[in-house]
Amino acid sequence: MERQTVILLVVALVAIIEPAAGKVYKECQLATILQNHGFTKSLIPDWVCLIMSESSGNTAAKGGPNSNGSYDYGLFQVEALRRADPPFKESYRLCKRPGK
């Protein structure tokens, strides 16, 4: 797996697991954090734009409910599916276990 993908997954997981921390980052802070974690320098403005448009830099951001009943959490507004059963696409079944 590409290093930047792994870093993105870690950041997304932290955004889901610890939303109660409720830190709100400014654009320059986000750019520094992304650079320190090895993100490609030329792509950092795009990542910062994505984060700011999705969550305004707020780690405690929560969006939804979505049409499938799930909510979006954290900086990247990662969707937390409530079920992994069909009719959800196979690509959504990341945990490879039955939905609850």
Q: What 3-state class would DSSP assign to 46?
A: helix
Give CA separation, 19 vs 11, 24, 97, in Å: 12, 11, 25
Instruction: Quickly count: other Cβ atoms within 10 Å of residue 77's Cβ.
Output: 19
Which is the catalytic residue, given 54, 79, 85, 90?
54
Active site residue 54: yes
Q: Which of 2, 27, 46, 72 is catalytic?
A: 72
Active site residue 72: yes
Which pair of tokens denotes residue 2? 């590409």
Residues labelled catalytic: 54, 72
